[in-house]
Each structure stands twice: as C-alpha cells, then as structure tokens.
Amino acid sequence: MKTFWVTFRIGDSIAGGRTYEQCYDAFTSAIAKYTDDYWDDPTSFAMFSTTGTIAQIALDCRPAISPTYDMFLIGELDKASAIVCGLGVDDAVFRLMPYAKHI
C-alpha cells in the first residue's frame, strides 16, 4: 500500500453544469473508491492509502472537476511524484516540485 495526499480547489460557481457541491462530492467519491482508509477533515485536502497508482487516481479525479475552473495536486508520500490537473496552477508548484506532471 502507498499513501497519497491531495489538495484541491473547486470554484464556487456552476461549471460544466455542476454546482460546487456536486463537484466536491464527485471528487471525494473518486478518492473513496480506492480505499476506506482516508482522512479528509480539512475541506480541500485528503490523505489516503491504496494499492492504486498516482496516474490511475489522477485520471479518476479529473472528470470530477471542471479543469477550466478547478484544480488538484496529488502526490505520493515518501516519493518524488506529483500530478497537477486544472488551470490557474502557479509556477511555484513546478519550482518546488520539479518532478510534478501536468495533465
């Protein structure tokens, strides 16, 4: 099992015909399908353990958001691995995590 963290920003306007609540629920459901061992007390952060890969998780989370308005950054603990999805990602992410990939 690997442990991952994800932080995300979901806009408060209707995007792609979905409300904030619908996007939030879809996003957290995409994560929850990988495990029942996760922590998501903060509103825009979750940590979880799974046998899934970072690429699988990112691809499952992408349709849950509207990448034109929303974004997420997922990383694997203890490994230099991260994926960013969405627009409006500050270049600082890539300076601080030069290994991060954008999908």
Q: What is the mean pLDDT of the chain?
A: 90
Read off the pLDDT of each residue in 41-68 and give the average, rounded to a whole number.
92
Sorting pLDDT into bands at 50, 70 and 90, what band is 81?
A: very high
Contact yes or no for 27/8 (Cβ under 8 A): yes
pLDDT exceeds 80 at position 16: no
What pLDDT is stored for residue 18 in this prediction?
84
Task: Tell me the pTM.
Answer: 0.89
- Structure-token match 């899934």, residue found: 52
Element holding 58 (H helix, E strand) = helix 54-61
The two beta strands, 45-50 and 101-102, are unpaired
DSSP type of residue 64: G
Number of neighbours of residue 8 by Cβ within 10 angstroms? 23
Cα 75 to Cα 14, 17, 24, 100, distances in angstroms: 27, 29, 19, 9
Read off the pLDDT of each residue in 39-56 and give the average, rounded to a whole number.
92
* 15: CATH: 3.30.70.240
How many domains does the chain contain in total?
Answer: 1
DSSP type of residue 63: G
- Tell me the residue range of the domain where 11 lies: 2-102
pLDDT exceeds 90 at position 60: yes
Sorting pLDDT into bands at 50, 70 and 90, what band is 90?
A: confident
